Structure 1
Amino acid sequence: MRGPLPGLPTPHPLLHQLPAVYLDQPFVEGFLSALDEVLAPVLLTLDNLPAYLDPRTAPEDLLAWLAGWVAAEADGEGPVGRRRAVVAGAVARHRQRGTRAGLAAAIRVETGIEPEIRESGATSWSGEPGSALPGSALPRVRVRLRVADAQAVASTRARLERLVATEVPAHVGYEVEVVAADGAGA
């Protein structure tokens, strides 16, 4: 957590903004130096505002705040690098949300593993009214994830189910399968 730093220098001393006639007045100098000490953190924060708003350089405690701005799930539990990647890529992923590519990207960011995704939907065009619809009547997405550690299968499955539920469109059903790389499933 950030806090005030004692003796922080001001980037723009107020005394230097006054006409020369006030420079050798002890009261003015003391009064303005006290104001400089109060205003220094504010001015330095404003001077560095782009660094605070960039997920690659923002302080750790601001990442959750930035994640809220871009509607990203960047919990405080994961590694900092992964949380920064989630926030930095959130806007691009939102453009793909509800698509197969968007679901795959969300799973890759969350788990670091390439998922196998099968979907039952399809599209087609017909000049005749009443022609058969493509895909199945009930759209469904099947996600399979192969994890290296057989002990992590249950915990990965719970996280993956929550993620898939938020990423697929509301009218689309889904199935999640997490299997160990050796083939044993959960």
Structure 2
Amino acid sequence: MVQSRFSPAVQIDLTPMQIPEALPGVALAFTGAERVEIAQHSLVLHPGQPSEMVVLLKNLTAHPLRLELKAEGNFPPEWCRIGTEGNEIPAREQMQAVLYFQLPATYFEDQQAIAPNKKEKLELNFRCFVILHIDPGTDQEKIERSDEFSIYVRPWSNYMEFLPLLYREVDFIARFMKIFEEAYQPVIDNFSAMWANLDPLTSPRKLLPFLAHWVAWQVDSVWDLQQQRRLIRRAVELYQWRGTRKGLRLYLHLYTGLPLDENLSKESDKHISITEPFGNSFILNDAELGNAVLGGGQAYHFVVRLRRKEGQTIHEELIRRIIEEEKPAFCTYELFIENSNN
């Protein structure tokens, strides 16, 4: 904390919460030229990010003082908001106020910044000072002014972290590195997120036909977008288990969204139940006319039973189409779609 101004009544101390590493004029030291004079206090502002200047007010008198605080300078007034602990300081006490600065996140992209016919260069350095009205509205009103401090608007650059500390102190290098960051960082970010483009669950919609071609999957307009994503992602697994109960159950699961219920041992309790009906085979003493079965059941026949959730719509024709594609050609089947009790 650096003392900025003394007065007979009030002492004003300024403390910047975000001090710039690189300041204008530092680069001139490498050329041997005289450095540009820089204000004692400096505050850096990055577009879209908040920054603060803490103002400590000390009452040096033996009686309380009413105060009114303002911030003035050549910066747009909407950048600054003032927060105080009150408007009166007891005798020999102190009070803290904060100047909250924040400029638009699009400061460098706004039209006034990039206008081709703009004659004046974009302003990046501003001056500011605190105006203190003591006992405002009375005959004893006094106006005190703090030392001037600088406000530097600078783009945030991660690339400066890769440079030695000596170069970080040069303002020109910081802004120069930002040019390379703006040019190359989108490409780097693209490579970092490339996995998302190659995953059917997260890839752009227009890339799905390409990913489907990779795994020889036929994209059908009958399927909605989320179903297509799930099917393309697990197409190889479906090929691996084609013609089996596991493969058919997985395919039906990807379409209907019904759980696989792999934790249930009893097949008939599952939401997607695939069973082969078998009865008692060739028992003469218990056989009755009309229900005696030789061989225990119909060969190569299975029953698919779907227990849909309440309010869920299942396209029966599409279910039959899935079964026809997945089952062995010599097998027959029956399909039942029921409402689940769970």
Q: TM-score, normalised by structure 2?
A: 0.31
Equivalent in the alignment of 1:166 = 325
Deviations 1:44-77 (A, max 9, x none): x99x986654323432122134224324354345
Equivalent in the alignment of 1:145 = 306
Q: Which has the higher helix share?
A: 1
Equivalent in the alignment of 2:340 = 181
Percent identity between matched residues is 32
Matched, 1:112 2:112: no
Equivalent in the alignment of 1:81 = 226
Go from structure 1 to structure 2 and tell me whether the alpha carbon gap of 1:106 and 1:73 turns closer, same or farther (over 3 Å shift): farther
Q: TM-score, normalised by structure 1?
A: 0.53
Higher relative contact order (CA 8 A, sep 6+): 1
Structure 2 unmatched runs, 5+: 1-189, 259-270, 279-294
3-state SS of paired residue (2:315): helix
Distance 2:315 2:310 in 1: 10
Query: What letter is aligned with 2:232?
Result: V
Distance 2:232 2:299 in 1: 33
Go from structure 1 to structure 2 and tell me whether the alpha carbon gap of 1:171 and 1:69 turns closer, same or farther (over 3 Å shift): farther
Distance 2:323 2:310 in 1: 21
Go from structure 1 to structure 2 and tell me whether the alpha carbon gap of 1:49 and 1:148 turns closer, same or farther (over 3 Å shift): closer
Query: What letter is aligned with 2:332?
Result: G
Query: What letter is aligned with 1:117?
Result: I
Contact conserved, 1:116 with 1:145, CA < 8 A, in 2? yes
Matched, 1:99 2:258: no
Q: Which has the higher strand share?
A: 2
Go from structure 1 to structure 2 and tell me whether the alpha carbon gap of 1:88 and 1:151 turns closer, same or farther (over 3 Å shift): closer
Go from structure 1 to structure 2 and tell me whether the alpha carbon gap of 1:53 and 1:67 turns closer, same or farther (over 3 Å shift): same
Which structure's CA Rg is the greater one?
2
Equivalent in the alignment of 1:35 = none
Contact conserved, 1:93 with 1:105, CA < 8 A, in 2? yes
Query: What letter is aligned with 2:303?
Result: R
Go from structure 1 to structure 2 and tell me whether the alpha carbon gap of 1:92 and 1:112 turns closer, same or farther (over 3 Å shift): same
Query: What letter is aligned with 2:249?
Result: A
Deviations 1:103-136 (A, max 9, x none): 1101100101140110359xxxxxxxxxxxx975
3-state SS of paired residue (2:302): strand
